[in-house]
Amino acid sequence: MANSYLNSESKKLATWYFTVAATLFGAQLLFGLVAAIQYVVPSFLFEILDFSVARMLHINALVVWMVFAMFGSVYWLLPDETGIETVGIGFGKLLFFIFTAAVTVVVLVYIFVQVGSADEMSIWFIHEGREYIEAPRWADLGITVVALGFVANLFMTGMKGNRSGIVTVLMADMIAFAGLYLAGMFYTDNISVDQFWWWWVIHLWVEATWEVYVG
């Protein structure tokens, strides 16, 4: 069965996700190195790239390359596990390009704009200033749409094809994958309350949901 789907569109899409994931992994290493140098030599890239921005890019690249890698892994596995081509593969390709373009824009804004006026415009278009989930609000909404579209592709394929145990677990875990990210959408002016919400995103979305997903 695996050989018959070796050249499937789903697997081709998976390689696109893997390529972006590898690129972002390289960016994570690069900005981590820059931040490490700045920590020891504070004047390194002074007034060009702030330490806080390098750190932000380093941490966020980690989260995003893992998402790309996981999406790619599912698209690679689905034809073999279900016995059919991924349902809605054209829509899946469209979401890939939207996701990649959005990530590219966010990174460029981080690098070339870096800071804002700490008002609603900054929250929506530069970054939210929240540790670990600094993405601007428009990107938050975009990630949610992409995740829900991916969940739809997975569920439609799982329901139409042979739903193996692996696919069933992925379908169940994807509900948490999409749902727990929404906890990070609750922005408040109170830092204690705000950190409560992003705590759920980091520790239950990344460290709990993803561990089941990857396993």
Read off the CATH number of the domain in which 173 is found.
Answer: 1.20.210.10
In 3-state terms, what secondary structure has residue 67? helix
C-alpha distances (whole Å) from 85 to each of 4, 8, 14, 37 are 11, 7, 13, 47
- pTM across the whole model: 0.86
Q: List the alpha helices (DSSP H) in the chain.
A: 9-40, 51-82, 89-112, 120-125, 137-160, 165-181, 191-200, 210-214
Render pLDDT for 36-90 as a digit per residue (tens, 0 to 9): 999 999 999 988 898 988 998 998 898 899 899 999 999 999 999 999 999 999 9
* Residue pLDDT, tens place only, 130-181: 777 788 888 888 888 888 899 999 999 999 998 888 888 888 888 888 777 7
Amino acid, single-letter form, for residue 2: A
Which residue range(s) make up the domain with 112? 3-214
**32 token code pair:** 């981590």
Instruction: Map tokens 């727990």 to a residue.
Output: 180
User: Do residues 107 and 31 touch, judged by C-beta distance below 8 A?
Assistant: no
Task: Give how many domains the chain has, as a whole number.
Answer: 1
Q: Count Cβ atoms within 10 A of the Cβ of residue 38 and give its class: 0-12 exposed, 13-18 middle, 19 or more buried.
A: buried
